[in-house]
Amino acid sequence: MIEFKEVAVRRDGRVLFSGANFQLHPNQKIGLTGNNGTGKSTLFALILTQMQALGNVDGQSDEVSVDSGSVGIPDSWQVAHMAQEVAASDQSAINYVLSGDEEWFSLNEKLNHIEALSDDEIAQLHQRFDEIDGYKTPTKAAQIMSGLGFLNHQHDLPVSGFSGGWRMRLNLAKTLMSRADLLLLDEPTNHLDLDAILWLETWINQFSGLIIVISHDQAFLDTTVNNILHVEQQKITLYSGNYQQFIRTRSERLAQQQQAFEKQQATRTHLDDFIRRFRAKASKAKQAQSRIKQLERMSELTPVMADNPFSFQFYAPTHMSSPLIVMSDASIGYDHVPMLNRVNLQVTPDSRIGLLGINGAGKSTLIKALVGELPLISGQYRVSDTLKLGYFNQHQMDSLNENATPMQMLRRLAGLTSDADLRSFLGSFDFRGDRIDTQSKLFSGGERARLTLALIVWQRPNVLVLDEPTNHLDLQMRQALTFALQSFEGAVVLVSHDRELVANVCDELYLVHDGAVDEFDGDIHDYGKWISENKKQASRETKQKLPLESAQNNLTNLKDANKSSLNCSSSLSAQTLQSNGSAPQISSARQTNNENKESTGGEKLSKDAQRKLAAEQRKLTAPIRRRIEIAETALVELENKLAAMDEALSDTELYNDERKSELLTLLDKQANLQSEQLSQEEALLCAMSELEDMEARF
């Protein structure tokens, strides 16, 4: 277990937390929560520093020491930490993910370069490789990548070929590949869509080690964690239960704390009044001194302050008409290639629309068409003369003037509004003090998102189109945004993986799937079930197609054997490529066979048809039979050469020092012959397998 005893940490002269006492055990799922700046990331860095001291993690750039107290971590534990940056490299995505399993990656690298190893060393490597189920590791990596939204053809792309958000997914996949006892996950859902989040929830619940996760996704925390480690007012408190239970428990504790504070203040007032009135009287001096000592002994309780620094709301639109946006029989896509067809969508003043769909289904494409950024390929697009659009997406954040301050940006929109009113408005988004006059290039992602929302709110839109607005927002800002959207008097179109936000804001859900946009019959929780069922259905369809694809691939491979004498591994590669692409054509003999069966109602073929089919079989299998013959002949020759080599190596004089060079030459030749023998055996087995499959399918 991990044990903190009276731990205090100070950074930049400021105490982040002190007197921390808690224990964390294997199989616990811990949600680490607290306001920004309270020390969550510092706690991660402290654990990593302690693990580094044990030699169980590579060096970290951000080392944190304990000012007082102690941190206990088992010596044997390994830790995996999801870093927040991924450097561009030429390493393939699948190899980057596989490198997360450090032991497997090291063993695999050694087994691929065994030239300098002894037979005993090679045997030990293979034994350990088998012990850790090394042969299944690439499949595990592929499953993790699939769960996080990567397609098969992306596995071999270089890391540098992915955008920042997709690199973060790669980094998460690499972390999940590790054989760690402790996982530290910092905002793992930030760059995931809902189907990937649901997959990650399942993975975390099945993980047998200890997980500590920082997340601003309340639904994610409710599903995955069984304890909350909360940092506030320089204290760390461990609560049992998920996030909802933590909210209830903490609320009760704060209410009790508030009552105790109010009671203490009343007692203090009474004591102060007594001391003030009777301190100068000789008859009451002793009692007054007693009251003074009582005051000194009283522990200082703090009042319960409102946690949330955000208090904004959307202004009421000045003009409104209905409908505001209409899309009729629309075909939407790029370069005249439709991605969505026959889309019919209408936005009215009371619309609260949530767009659902798996990654790549076309939600962002639909949004771009809805706001007029992407022209329709066909169909109608109409907007009201009163339309005033408030559009939030990642591009809007990135296009902020990085040299301008929040005050300067707002001033350009505000006209004659006083500075006091502007500062008050920005304060509702927690831009206070120096942050109001700080250039936006120095802001974090969360601050840039809040500033973008503030500029949108100021312009009084009557339609809000929000594409993943919560990616960089913490729990408090998400809560404030939810309350503001609930009271907004205009229309809302929302794309978000935050299920709490969708559930509390949207009353109409549309599913973007298979090139269509249809109203979804159910709520956001039903959508999670739909994703699960959709994956199961896709898996069933894939399994149903496998036998036919396998037969087609075998026949095609046999035909291709006339053109090239492929070895077993290259034939398998060809099959893999064909299974990912369009299905090859069935051979003419197979077609003739099927046609004859259909025309005769399943009766036996005529003798003439049988002769033709047999001739076609012989023609198709001739190259394979030739490959078998060549491999068998080569194996006989190799066996004779190896027998002669064994006889030569049995000469005891060969092992004298003066004949050492001759011995090494013979051993090298023997190794080459054994390697060639192995290759020929693989080629023979492959050809025989293909021949059996071919004969079985006629």
Residue-wise DSSP of 204-266: HHH--SEEEEE---HHHHHHH-SEEEEEETTEEEEEES-HHHHHHHHHHHHHHHHHHHHHHHH
Give helix 164-176 / helix 194-206 axis angle, nearest 10°: 20
Give the pLDDT confidence score for residue 558 in this predicted structure.
Answer: 43
Kindly state whether residue 315 falls inside one of the protein's structural domains.
no
pLDDT digits (tens, 9 = 90+) for 173-190: 999 999 899 999 998 998
In this prediction, residue 300 carries a pLDDT of 55
How far is residue 183's CA from residue 199's CA, in Å, rounded to a whole number?
A: 17
Out of 298-302, 330-334, 535-539, 598-602, pick the least confident: 598-602
Residue type at position 438: T
Q: For the residues 73-86, what does the mean pLDDT come to?
A: 84
Q: Out of 379-383, 541-545, 552-556, pick the least confident.
A: 552-556
pLDDT confidence of residue 352: 93
Verify that 351 and 497 share a domain, yes or no. Answer: yes
SS3 assignment for 409-423: HHHHHHCCCCHHHHH
The pLDDT assigned to 365 comes to 93
- List the CATH number of the domain containing 235: 3.40.50.300
Provide φ and ψ at 47, rounded to 5°: -65, -40
pLDDT at 251: 79
| pLDDT at residue number 495 | 94
Q: What is the mean pLDDT of residues 270-283?
A: 67
**pLDDT by residue (tens digit) across 557-566?**
444 444 433 3
Q: Is the pLDDT of residue 450 over 60?
A: yes
Written as one letter, the residue type at 518 is: D
* Cβ neighbours, 10 Å, residue 277: 11
My answer on whether 476 and 337 are in the same domain is yes
Answer yes or no: is 307 within a domain: no
Q: Is the pLDDT of residue 289 over 90?
A: no
Q: Does the structure show a pLDDT above 60 at 30?
A: yes
How would you classify residue 172: left for phi > 0, otherwise alpha for psi between -120 and 50, otherwise beta? alpha
Contact, 168 vs 195, CB < 8 A?
no
Whether 57 and 117 map to the same domain: the answer is no
Q: Tell how far CA 221 is from the center of its chain.
A: 15
pLDDT for 177 equals 94
- With respect to residue 536, please indicate whether it lies within any of the assigned structural domains: no
Q: How does residue 513 score in pLDDT terms, banded at 50, 70 and 90? A: very high
Look at residue 374 and tell me whether its pLDDT is greater than 50.
yes
Give me the pLDDT at residue 552, please: 47
Task: Name 330's bridge partners.
Answer: 343
CA neighbours within 13 Å on the CB side: how many for 79?
29
Evaluate whether residue 539 is within a structural domain.
no
Identify whether residues 65 and 117 lie together within a single domain: no
Assign 572 a pLDDT band (cuts: 50, 70, 90). very low
**pLDDT value for 492:** 95
Are residues 667 and 573 part of one domain?
yes
pLDDT exceeds 50 at position 598? no
User: 572 and 664 share a domain?
Assistant: yes
Among 153, 176, 199, the domain boundary falls at: 176
Domain count for the chain: 5
Confidence tier at 61 by pLDDT (50, 70, 90) = low
Whether 638 is covered by a domain: the verdict is: yes
Which of 193, 216, 241 is the last residue in one of the domains?
241
More reliable by pLDDT, 621 or 399:
399
Whether residues 346 and 482 share a domain: the answer is: yes
Q: How far apart are CA 20 and CA 362, in angstroms?
A: 48
Across 306-332, average pLDDT: 85
Please check whether residue 1 lies inside any domain of the structure: yes
pLDDT digits (tens, 9 = 90+) for 122-167: 888 888 988 888 888 998 999 999 899 898 889 999 998 888 788 8
Q: Which two tokens stand for residue 193?
A: 């869509």
Say whether both 54 and 187 belong to one domain: yes
Q: What is the mean pLDDT of residues 252-275?
A: 74
In a domain, 375, yes or no: yes
Closest CA to 147 of 184, 196, 106: 196
Is 193 found in the same domain as 161? no
The parent domain of residue 114 ranges over 84-176
Residues with Cβ < 8 Å from 288, sequence gap 6 or more? 274, 275, 278, 279, 281
Joined together, the tokens standing for residue 502 give 């969708």
Rank 197-206, 310-319, 539-548 by mean pLDDT and report only the highest: 197-206
Give the per-residue pLDDT at 651.
Answer: 73
Average pLDDT over residues 644-656: 73
User: What are the percentages of helix, strand and coil residues in the chain, rounded to 5?
Assistant: 55, 15, 30
CA 444 – CA 672 distance, rounded (Å):
60
Residues 388 and 432 placed together within one structural domain of the fold: yes
Contact 515, 339 (CB under 8 A): yes
Q: Which pLDDT value is given to residue 624?
A: 80
- Most confident range (mean pLDDT) of 219-223, 630-634, 672-676 is 219-223
Same domain, yes or no, for 497 and 419? yes
Distance CA 529, CA 392 (A): 29
pLDDT tens digit sequence for 405-430: 999 999 999 888 999 999 999 998 98
* Mean pLDDT within 339-356: 94
**Residue 237 pLDDT class (50, 70, 90 cuts):** very high
Q: Using alpha carbons, select from 20, 104, 14, 113 the residue that is nearest to residue 69.
A: 20
Percent of the chain surpassing pLDDT 90? 35
Whole-Å CA distances, 654 to 641, 651, 658, 661:
18, 6, 9, 10
pLDDT band at 280 (very low <50, low <70, confident <90, very high): low
Q: Rounded to whole angstroms, what are the CA distances from 171 to 148, 185, 661?
A: 11, 11, 50
Is 441 part of any domain? yes
The larger pLDDT score, comparing residue 465 to residue 11, is at: 465
Average pLDDT on 388-403 reads: 88
Q: What is the pLDDT of residue 562?
A: 40
Both 53 and 137 in a single domain?
Answer: no
Which is higher by pLDDT, 322 or 568?
322
**Boundary (domain end) residue, out of 152, 176, 200:** 176
Tell me which of 106 and 544 has the higher pLDDT: 106
